[in-house]
Amino acid sequence: MDISFAEPSVPESGAVVVGVFVGGKLAPSGAQLDKRIGGALSRAIAASQFKGKKGETRDVLAPPRTKLDRVVLLGLGDPDSFDLLAAQAVGGAAYAALAKAQAAAILVDPVPGSMLDAPETAANIAFGATLRAYRFDKYRTKLKAEDKPRLKRLAIHVKGAPAARKAFAPLGELAAGVYVTRDLVSEPANIIYPVSFAERAMALRKVGVSVEVLDEKKMAKLGMGALLGVAQGSAHKPRLVIMRWNGAARRDAQPVAFVGKGVTFDTGGISIKPANNMWDMKWDMAGAGAVVGLMRALAGRKAKVNAIGVIALVENMPSSTAQRPGDIVTSMSGQTIEVLNTDAEGRLILADALWYTQDRFKPRFMVNLATLTGAIIVALGGVHAGLFSNNDDLSEKLIAAGKASEELLWRMPLADAYDKLIDSDAADVKNIGDGGAGSITGAQFIQRFVNNVPWAHLDIAGVAWSKKDTPTVPKGGTSFGVRLLNQLVADHYEDA
């Protein structure tokens, strides 16, 4: 979809969107159009009891005295609470209402009482529309034309169009990163496996990200027995991908680091999962997908930061060569791990990936993302991701970034009493606890491999995939973490 910005005017044809505040009050541009067409919009508002709630829409077909196809009334909600997220939600709702139009325009006015100016509002409306426009239907060969979106051109009319265009540029790059993640997470596991995933990541070289790929021989030489143990049952060989974006003024400035779990399909291994819903495990690599999308976004908008992205890519399969419950492996850190459950595999690959990251790059902090536990879904559902951290300052910054990006986090506890639950009689640590506090013991396990670097673990198992549409996230892969971590970097870690 091509998005453009223009100075205020009413298009001669197609569809046009006008804003309506709570209580049914038309925004100024809508009021002007209403006057031109003899009050058709205000009559439609009254007749349909349209309240102007945020994201609410109503169609007015073939308005008299114009050549427009239709006018869409779009609820802006309460102007006193209108902010960036409200603007993005409005953009998403507008796209959903316009998807079957051939061309459309949105008329944007300043919102009284809002801290946003009109160009910033317009840019975020465009961003929300872009996020909602995502579709993954490449394998649907029998879709009828009427079932496909037709909207190719969306014009945003606002006073200060050049400023809106400038404000949208970094948001457009962020959306491109979101799209990369959603594509990766949506692909089936016969298309995305460790080697092909690594190849997709190498495409980031086009936007200036340096990409290095370690194969199983290089990982074995480094002593990554925890990661390799998970991979040994699959015909698809593992990979570790290292992505680097050097955007800081000083190329040697200490980087920030993001690490992703990339289990491209998770059967559970010998501790095999039930058949029902196992198909969902194609997105057990959503943490790695988010890291790739984040690196794409940072490079695309030329973020003034040095950033490292590391993704551990494996497939967890049962076979005659698969890791067995009770096996003991040696991690890159030298710590030995008793593998009591082969379905607790994400923490094993993160153990080596995080140790490698802190050992090689000496980052300011590390944030890892992983669809780690079903227990976090029991605790938080699909609303918040679980946040575990050894650093209060990093946690507070992440929670604030989550609120600003609408990718919410809830901090969960870490404590010595939980850590003791993963002490092993046969090795240094075991990969599961006693059955309780499953998401916490998973985090405690990972913490043993961060070596006191400021660190946060985001358990995104409940938020990586959505079974319903929201204003800016169509059902499917959510790309959770891309906007959140981009916000974190933008707010705190870029050069002034």
Catalytic residues: 273, 347
Nearest to 102 by CA among 16, 17, 15: 15
d(CA 26, CA 150): 28
Q: Angle of helix 118-132 relative to helix 161-186, nearest 10 degrees?
A: 20
If you ran DSSP here, which 8-state letter would residue 434 be given? S
Which residue do the tokens 């990972």 mark? 446
CA angle 447, 449, 450 (to 5 degrees): 70
d(CA 242, CA 239): 10
107 close to 10: Cβ distance less than 8 angstroms: yes
**Strand order, beta sheet including 336-339:** 327-330, 336-339, 429-430
Residue 366, CA distances (Å) to 260, 361, 377, 381, 449 in order: 11, 10, 23, 25, 11
CA atoms within 13 A on the CB side of 21: 18
Nearest to 68 by CA among 41, 95, 94, 108: 41
d(CA 111, CA 80): 8
Amino acid present at 100:
K
d(CA 104, CA 153): 7
d(CA 246, CA 253): 9
Which H or E element spans position 261?
strand 256-266
Nearest to 1 by CA among 109, 151, 113: 151
CA 50 to chain centre: 33
Residue 263, CA distances (Å) to 185, 343, 389 in order: 11, 11, 22
CA atoms within 13 A on the CB side of 75: 17
Residue 201, CA distances (Å) to 20, 77, 171, 183, 190 in order: 43, 40, 21, 12, 17
Which H or E element spans position 185?
helix 161-186
275 close to 226: Cβ distance less than 8 angstroms: no
